Structures are given as structure tokens and as C-alpha cells.
Amino acid sequence: MDEHAGGLGAVTRPELDPGEPIVGRDAELARLFRAVDSVSADPVLMLVGDVGTGKSALLDRAVRRAEAGGARVLRAEGSESESSLAFSALHQLLRPVLAEVDRLPGRQRAAMRDAFGAGSATSGPDLMLIGVAVLSMLSALGDHHPVLVVLDDAQWFDRASLDALSFVARRLEGEPVTMLIGARGGDQLPGFDRHVLTLTLGPLDDAETDQLLDLQPKSPTGHTRTRILDQAGGNPLALVELTRAASAHDTAAGLPSAGPLPLTDHLERIFVARLNGLPASTTRALLLLAAMDSADSAIAVSAGLPRAEDAAWLPAEQAGLVRRIGRDVRFRHPLVRSAVYHAASSAAQREAHLALAEMLRDEPDRRAWHLAAACPGPDAAVSADLERTATRARRRGGHAAAAKALLRAAELAPRREDSARLLVEAAAAAVFTGDIAWVEELAAAARARTDDAALLASAAVQAGRLAVLTGRHTVVFSRLADAAEALAVSQPAAALDLVAGAAVVRFYSGEDTQRHRIQDILRRLPEDASHAGLRTWVRAVSDPFDDRAGLVRLLPQSAAEAEARPERLTTVGIMAWLLDETPQAVRAFDEAFDRWELQGPLPEGLGGAVAWAYVERGRWEEARQACVRTTAVGRVVGLDHAVACAATVDATLLAFQGDAATARARAEDALTLIDPLESRSVSVYARRALGAAAAAEGAYETAYDQLRMVFAADGAPVHYHASYPALADLAAAAVRCGRREEAVAIVERSACALADNASPRLRALISRARGLLADPEDAEPHFRAALADPVLEYWPFERAQTLLDLAEWLRRRRRIAEARGPLTEALEAFRRLGARPWIERARAESRAAGLDVTDSTPDALAELSPQQQQIIRLAARGLTNREIGEKLFLSPRTVGSHLYRSFPKLGITARSQLRDLIEGTLAGAGHQE
């Protein structure tokens, strides 16, 4: 921490003198005070700066301000040595309020206990559930007092804690919780994206540095002052500490000589100089404290450290190396700890770690790391201990911690083959961190240590698993395809795994040359009955309209195989969705989600298929929940492509529900996250969403322009799967803006390309498009064909659009009596879905047809935001605020706030009225199979 940086006096302890000025940080301090004095529009604020720029001093002042105002302060300080222990920072933060865990709902309580190693789970906890649990705890604490969460030296937080806390940070709006973060400049914090308000602490200017030096007890003058100014470079901590060193020697002789050494080296040398002449007992105590994972006073005493009141600490305190706070002794700055540790001999360091390991027999994970730190060379037993630590970390969802433990285990493994195996396992764990560079580095290290074909193949597969989820489609496809070809003869199973990944990349990119290469590799691979399902997957993903009927016939076999291997349920669902067997896709996804709690995280490849299937099936509430989860996971692990996929689905739903402005913003967000030439699928989905938003507002020229971009200049689909569902919407916009002829050419080209491989759904959409584009006297057969197949009821929104088109055509042909049936059915479907623009259009058409259309409850729901609609529907089912929060990843307080604001709009005053109010909303096609 930077306790004495930023201008706090070097002698006066800042925690005892809140009036001591902080030089050069007035604007930053004022902004922090505004954040803690009231519920801020920006509940999350990050201070970024180099070591010694004053981050901790500012955070300390904000803490004192908050405490004086009656706030509850929870604080965690990053520790480099604990960065490998999953959820250690989160545990430190919540340790004062762990009793609140017992008040959480059962699933959240179990997830938190598993995260802290106190549960009995055999698979990793749900990261999103842990995030909701932490959010619920903070929100509950806020019922009594405002809450200030302070995360200092966050660059050293373990990854699992950062994932959970970044999840919480994005959901603090409206909560009586403020989060302040201090982090080193240049250190990226996973999950804390560009939307977090950031204050950057740079060097002090000349006037500020002079002011700070003048405030020191022995203000330097003359040549000494000049040397301090030159070497400090405007860094507040350097100014204070160099001044302390100079005054201790009464001359500038004690200062480091000028030169190219980095600033931290200067400071570490100063701190090391203060160790000279300290009593042996003090030096030993300092080294033990430096080697510890934390300043836990109970562990400190059992490890042989003197108690805080012991005289052994006095010389170190007088030398400005430590400070005593209650029963704890802490270093005054991380650089002090680093200097103490590295000043000791290797033998002394090992002795300290062994002493700590002896005292930590009841904490096997921390003990394993201390034993590893004490190892001068390979050690099979310690390597095995670290491997077991990794297993426990994975069970708690600490994938980064597991990967670090496996990496260290690999370094200590005496046998090269064991080292290579552990590195491959480390790569597999690191996949879930989203850090592709790290995964590739671990895979490369494994390749350098073994010639074992199976291990080499496994390393390639692990690197490929994460690469598939990034936006570097051209590069990743070539890498996966090259590796598959190289392994086709020696390791055909691994080669097929790599081709499966390449097929996903092919879907995202939409590049047709990739399809040909996939087919070439498949032909080289031997047929194997045990791998038939994976071959089917590759064919369906890379080209679902090549022998669609044959692929559909294989779906039941894939579904049967998934019964024995539930992790494959999503694979079956994705294949079914690609083949427009949406009802079967939704059933598979439902079953997968039912088993999720037992099986752990689902695969993320083509995860957007889940949301799209729910959209098509009319289950928009579940679709938005899937988008929330994908967005949360994608942001946490830095997978912008996954976030963009979810944003396009969300944008489409928002457009369907009438929130055109937000829909456009979400779609534009998606387009900024991807390269349209690299990610044709996402680009097409975004254009479809923008087209829907324009159509919802009646801006049909704009809608046509957006949907026209879903097809190439010659009318060919930009994407082999994502473009076709836009045909009917393109036609609808075309007839309203005079672009009929061009649209006819595009529709007929697509119809010809699909031919007999078109699904019933696509045949219906093409028929609808033909009906819209036909001469009025020729339109009816096309509309009737689009409605003829009963299976089309499984796509309720698309069917309702066709019904409305038919009804409009009938009314304009003065067949009003015939129009009323389709109109009534269409309006009912739109109301059930909450598709407000289409409700209004259907109501207007109904009135023109002489129907008595009255406002009904679903129209009232349409006045709510999409999120409020979700909450209302869940509340109507009888779910509590906490249960709704778990589903939507919100705090109970936020759920309650939405309900409070929604009731007046719905004309009700009590929760008990909700079920009767929207009983019809939850019935019907949206929940039928």
C-alpha cells in the first residue's frame, strides 16, 4: 500500500491525523469524497498509478470519511503471494461479515462455502451464483448502513476473486454500495472494463513536489534537494523516502547514485539499507513476516513471530519498515516487504518458508506453496502436493489458481514426462480464465518437454478450445486446421477434436473456403463409430444445409448418446438449432440447464445458439437470461466475441419489444467488438437487429438498408446460416420503401440455393417473402403456404407476423370477415410475447377490420422495460426477490426496486395481484412443446 505517498508526512501516522494534507491530489480526493458521501452515479471508482503515487493514502482518507459518516467499510489488500489461492481476496474482504453467508438462500450459501473451501462440492461452483451471493450480502448490509468496499493493490488479487468482484461491480447501480479500487498503472484487471470510471495518478508537478518536500520534518535543501527531485521523478513516495534516507545520514551520501536504475530499485536499496544494524531477532521476524501470505495475527504467532507488542518490532518501526495496528504488524509498503525478502540469503528464505509450512498443516494449500518456495530443486512430493492443491482450487472454481499450482508442480516434477503432463493440465485449467496468451504459453512449454504424441495432441486441443472463442478467426482456423492435418494419422481422435473447433470458427467467420478444408480433413480421418457423433457435429456446424435431411435423421442417435454423457446435451441442442429443429434444441437446452448444477459449467462454443433457440421458440425471458450469463462470463474472461454474440440477441429482443433506441445501442456495441470481415455471423445478427429496430419505428428505408447488408452485392447470403432468416423481414421492408425488384432477386436466389435442403421454417419464411413481394392477386397462395405446416407453431413470432400479413392482405381485398381470425390470433401471440410495435400494428388493423380491441394486461406489460417484464413474470410465478435475483443476476434490492416502480404502471398495489393480472401471458405457444 502507498500509506505515506501522495504527501502524507513521513513521521505522523496518517490514520491518527486525518488533517495532514495530501499534496497535488485535490481533484482526486474531492471525487472520492463525493463517491462516499452519497450514492454516486458512478458506484465504482478506480485509482490507477505507479507504486508510490498515493493510491493507498487517498483510499485511507476516503475510508476515514466514510466511517465518520456511518458507513460500513469492507477492505481487502492484494498480496502477491496469495494471488495463487482461489478466492483468498474475496475471503479477506468478507471475513468481518462471514456470518451474513448463513443468511443467504441455500444455493448461494453453498456456493460461497464451496468457494471458501468450507463446502463439500465435487465440482466447481457457479461463478455467477457466487457473484449474486456477494451482491446479496453487500445489499443486505446496505439495509443498515451505506457500504464502502475498498480493494487496494487489486493487481495482486487472485483471479477468482476478481471475477466475482467485477461481476458485482457491474450491478451496483441503485445499491447503497460504493466500490473503490486501487491498482498499479499498466496492470489490467480482468473484468473491470473501460466503463469503470478511472482516475489516473501521475507524477506531481514542480510546484507540488516542492510543497511536499517543504512539509517533511527535515526539509532537504541545496544539492541534496536537487538530487532528491532528480531521482524521485515526481513520485510522492520516492520524495518522502529519499528525504528520510538523506536526513538519516545528514548528507546526500546515503542516497543511491544517479543512474539508469528504475525507481523501484532505488527505493528497495533504501529499504535494504535500513536493515543494516537491526538486531538478529528483528531481522528474523521481518523475514518471517515477508514470507507469510498475509498478516493473520493468529498464524503469525504460531509461526514463531513475536506478538505486535513485543519489543523486537520497535527497531523496525523506528526504521520506518513496519507499523503496528492493534494485534497486527504490517509492512509500511509492499516494497519494504520485497526488499526484506530479497535481502535475505536463499538459505534464510527456505528456512522461513519451512517454518511457515510446519505451522500450516491444517491449511494444505498454503502449506504446499510454502513448501514449493522452499524447494531448491525438483521435488516429487511437493509437486504432488501442488497437484492436489490444483484439484481443490478447480472444485472451488479457481481455474487461475489451479493453473498456477499445476505450473509450479510442473517446474518441480523430477521427470520430464510428468512435467509435460502437468503443463497440459495447467493449460486446460487456464482455458477457463480466457487468457489465450497464457494457454498458448503453457501449451508451448509442454511441447518443449515431451515427444509423447498423445500429450502433444492434448496440448494442441487445449490451446484450440479457447482460441475458438476469440475473434481472431482467420489465424485460429489455420492453426487448428494445420494441427488437425498433422495429427490425422497418429492421433485421429485429437485431430477430430481440432476439426470440431475449426468448424465453430467456420461458423463465426462464415468463410466458405474454410468449409472445403474441413471437408478435406474429414475425408482423411478414419471412420470410427465411437466418434460418429463428433463427425455429425462438424458437418452440422460447418454446413447444415448439405444433406440436412440426413443430419436430422442422426439427431436422435446424438440425443441418445447424450443421455449417458450430459455434457453433450448442449452439443445436441446446438446441432438441432442449426438444422432448424428448434423444439428439439430447446428441449436439449432445458435438460442441460436442469443438470447444470450437478455437472458444472456448460461448454461455451456457439453458446449464442442457446439464446437464439429461445428467441425463436418464443421464450424471450429465458433468452435474455442466457444473454445475461454469456455477457457476464464473456466480460469476466475478456472474450469480447462472446459478449458481442450475446449483445446481438439482446438487441434483437429489445427491438421486438419496442425499445428501439437501446436495441440500436446494443447492436452498435456488438459491431465495435468484432471485425465484420472476421465475424460475419455476429455482423449479420447485428444488422438484423438494427433492421428490426428501424422497422419497429416504421423507418422502413433504414430497415431495408440494414437488412440488405445481410446479403452480398450479388444477393448471395453474407453468412451461410445467419442470413437466411432475414429474407421475410427484408421483403417486408422492401415493399414499404419501393425496393421490391431487388428484394425479389435476393429471395429467389436464396430459394434456389437452398432448394430441397430448406427447413420447414425457412420454406415458410420464403413463402411469406414471396407473398409480400408478389402482385396482390398472386399473394394468397404464398401466405397460405407459409402457414400450412402445423410445425410452424413452434416459431410463434414468425408465424404471428405471417398471420398479420395475411390479414392485412385479406382486409385490403375487402375479405374482412376472413381477416378477423388471423388478426385475433396474431394479436394474441404478439401480446403474449410482449412485442409492442407489432401489438400496435395488429390493434390498428383489428380496429380497421371492425374488431372491438380493448387494452389488456399484456399491453400494460409492454409499457415496462424488458428487464422489468422479466421480473414481473417471475414474481407472478411466486418467486421471491432473492430467487428472481439468482435467475437474473441481480440483488434482491434491485428486484424490489423494479417491482415498486412497475406496480403503478400495471395499476396494481400488491404482489398477490400479479398472477391474476398476467395469467394468460405465461400460457400458450411460448411454453408448449
190 and 244 together in one domain: no
772 and 860 together in one domain: no
In a domain, 307, yes or no: no
- Out of 235, 253, 274, a domain closes at 274
User: Structure pTM?
Assistant: 0.73
Of these ranges, 483-492, 641-650, 699-708, 864-873, the one predicted with the greatest mean pLDDT is 699-708
Q: Give the angle subtended at the CA of 489 by the CAs of 484 and 493, to the nearest 5°.
A: 60
The model's confidence at residue 412, banded by pLDDT at 50, 70 and 90, is very high
- Out of 794, 816, 844, a domain closes at 794
Q: What is the pLDDT of residues 828-837, one digit of tens each?
A: 999 889 898 9
185 and 236 together in one domain: no
CA distance 699 to 21: 59
Nearest CA among 826, 819, 834, 831 for reference residue 798: 826
Q: Which DSSP string do the residues of 804-837 spell out, in sequence order?
A: HHHHHHHHHTT-HHHHHHHHHHHHHHHHHHT-HH
Can you tell me the mean pLDDT for 444-465?
83
195 and 212 together in one domain: no
Strand partners, 46: 181, 198
210 and 188 together in one domain: no
Of 51-55, 70-74, 608-612, 808-812, least confident by mean pLDDT is: 51-55
The model's confidence at residue 682, banded by pLDDT at 50, 70 and 90, is very high
In a domain, 748, yes or no: yes
36 and 167 together in one domain: yes
Residue 303: the pLDDT is 55
Residue 299: the pLDDT is 53
In a domain, 167, yes or no: yes
779 and 868 together in one domain: no
184 and 41 together in one domain: yes
Q: Which residue has the cell 526504521?
A: 319
What angle, rounded to 10 degrees, do the helices at 127-141 and 881-888 form?
140
In a domain, 563, yes or no: no
Q: CA 593, 720, 753, 745: dihedral to nearest 10 degrees?
A: 110
Residue 95, domain CATH? 3.40.50.300
Identify the sign of the CA torsion 637, 638, 639, 641.
positive
Residue 822: the pLDDT is 94
- Out of 249, 274, 299, a domain closes at 274
Task: Report the domain count for the chain.
Answer: 4
160 and 24 together in one domain: yes
Residue 13: the pLDDT is 31
**Which residues 6+ apart lie within 8 Å of 482 measured at CB?**
none
Residue 872, domain CATH? 1.10.10.10
- Neighbour count for residue 716 (Cβ, 10 Å): 14
In a domain, 418, yes or no: no
Q: What is the pLDDT of residues 460-491, one digit of tens each?
A: 887 777 777 777 888 889 888 998 998 888 88
Can you tell me the mean pLDDT for 53-78?
90
In a domain, 218, yes or no: yes
Is residue 147 within 8 Å of 176, Cβ to Cβ? yes
726 and 759 together in one domain: yes
- Which domain, by its residues, includes 867? 854-929
Q: Which DSSP string do the residues of 166-210 spell out, in sequence order?
A: HHHHTT-TTSSEEEEEEEETT---TT--TTSEEEEE----HHHHH
152 and 218 together in one domain: no
* Alpha-carbon Rg for the chain in angstroms: 32
